[in-house]
Amino acid sequence: MPGSWPLTGTTATHRPPRDPSRIASGGRCVREHPNYASGWHTASQLALRLNNPAAALAAIDKALALEPGNTDGLLQRALCVGKLGDTAALAPLVAELAARDLSTAYQHSTLGMLYTQLERREDAVACYERAAALEPDRAKHYYNIAALQRSLGDIEQAEANFDKAIELDPADWEAIKVRSELRRQTADDNHVGALEAMLDEGIADPRGEAHVCYALAKELEDLGEAERSFGYLKRGADKRRGLMRYDVQRDIDTMVAIEETFTAERLAASNVGSENNEAIFIVGMPRTGTTLVERILGSHSEVYSAGELGNFATVLMQQLRAKVADPSTPRDELVRLSASIDFAALGDAYIESTRPFTGKTPRFIDKLPLNFLYVGLIHLALPNAKIISVRRHPLDTCYAVYKQLFVDAYPFSYDLEELARYYAAYDRLMRHWSNVLPDAVYTIEYETLVDDFEPEVRRLLEHCGLDYEEACLRFHENKSASTTASTVQVRQPVYRSSVGKWREYREQLAPLVAALEDAGIALDE
């Protein structure tokens, strides 16, 4: 988002369908032939690819006015509405499409993507399976099925479909990486030989090389070969970092600006926010146990897990645009401006933006880790919301972040020195929030949670104003979908094997240790 200060990204969980029949530009066509529906349809597709969903919607509505019964036109309209984030309007469109006699793989695949947006993943799987039946040689259909099965916890079937996708498209690098993450690899059942052969043969696509290196690092770690694992991990991380334009100092400067802007005096003097009390924010660095805490709370009958929402930052930027229209406004200026907006309006707009998924239970969870940047604003906008900060040993945190290929998120994670600098800035900001808002943030330590599980769960529920429910201890039996990097782990009971994992790589992580110590981060073992 131009001019924004959220430091987040997204990772696709499916392959967007493309209609091969519509690849030509429609701009000239609609100017010369305004009554040509296909031209308006193509113009809509082009506008959507250019991330202009409002223009795309206007164009497809012209096409549908000319051909009201066109199924592909209605599918395109649903894609536009979905891109605009209007899930309330999307649901009836999807229902109408589902009632139609769809005949092409494109139509079924598109409907599957729309069902996914509505979080109706079982229906989405069925759509992608119908698309695969019509186009059995298209790898993307099997990838989409596998990605959804993974999120639903159907790991065995997910692996089979990733295998099929890779068989059809040996260069499906994302499928190769995710397949390695599905389960613990064993000496008798792994892909190490095949993956190393790919690297030996040479991979022209640098992103593909990075994916294969991360897959190898994961599988070799499973096999207990720490030195070989880290060698491939560093190779993959270096390759990924080389493809990026990123300056960690900009993110650090933003966090400093946040700290300087949201002082104790500013927070105490600000106007009253929304009275809504539904939201539970879970914040922290990625890979610290935020998903585990989400699954524990989300197993409660009064809580809905909404996932990693970018809504708060989006609504914040909408309010800031009312103050400054220039998309090149520096981040620090946006931070300062954010301290003088209407906080009640921000809180109400955020809650409304989560509908219609939320509101059916008394509470809901927003588990976007990097919402730690907005703790002050969240408290001002939603003073009755709960904010849960999840902490983990700095070295376990940084190693877990470093070994995860996030694709489009967390650009600080691919270089150990940059990772240390970002972590130090995060740690400083969290300590600032604790100082200026001592009662607003509830901190839970990952190591304490896994060592003293039931008492910690009871304390967490009590803090959130929730009655104790046994289901929270059996979070691994929760059948709801999970789309985070921890989707496989949260299907298992709580375990300690990740505590102190960094020690297996003490030598390789020496630069990280030194950088954290130089930044004043306590590393007591």
Per-residue pLDDT tens digits for 259-269: 999 999 999 87
Residue ranges making up the domain that contains 110: 1-166
**Coil/strand/helix, residue 522:** coil
For the beta carbon of residue 455, count every other beta carbon within 10 angstroms.
11
Residues 448 and 435 in one domain: yes
> Considering 136, 166, 196, which residue would you say is the last residue of a domain?
166
Say how many CA atoms lie within 13 Å of 401 toward its Cβ: 28
Nearest to 290 by CA among 395, 364, 369: 369
Tell me which residues of the chain have a pLDDT lower than 70: 1-33, 481-487, 490-491, 525
Is residue 485 one of the residues assigned to a domain? no
Give me the pLDDT at residue 321, please.
87
pLDDT score at 525: 59
Domain count of the fold of the chain: 3
Query: Are residues 506 and 377 part of one domain?
Result: yes
At 369, the amino acid letter reads P
Is the same domain home to 38 and 122? yes
Does 524 map to a domain? Answer: no
**Is 523 inside any structural domain?**
no
Whole-number pLDDT of residue 18: 54
Within-domain flag for 484: no
In this predicted structure, what is the pLDDT of residue 497? 75
**414 and 268: one domain?**
yes
- For position 291, what pLDDT does the model report? 92
Is 179 part of a structural domain of the chain?
yes
Residue 394 lies in a domain: yes
Strand partners, 443: 389
**pLDDT at position 477:** 84
pLDDT tens-digit series, residues 296-343: 999 999 999 999 999 999 999 999 988 887 878 889 999 999 999 999
Note the pLDDT of residue 7: 43
DSSP-derived pairing of the beta strands 363-366 and 279-283: parallel
* Confidence (pTM): 0.88
Angle, helices 173-181 vs 206-222, to 10°: value is: 10
Would you state the pLDDT for residue 221? 96
169 by Cβ neighbours in 10 Å (0-12 / 13-18 / 19+) ranks as middle
Query: Do residues 219 and 324 share a domain?
Result: no
Domain end residue (candidates: 227, 243, 259): 243
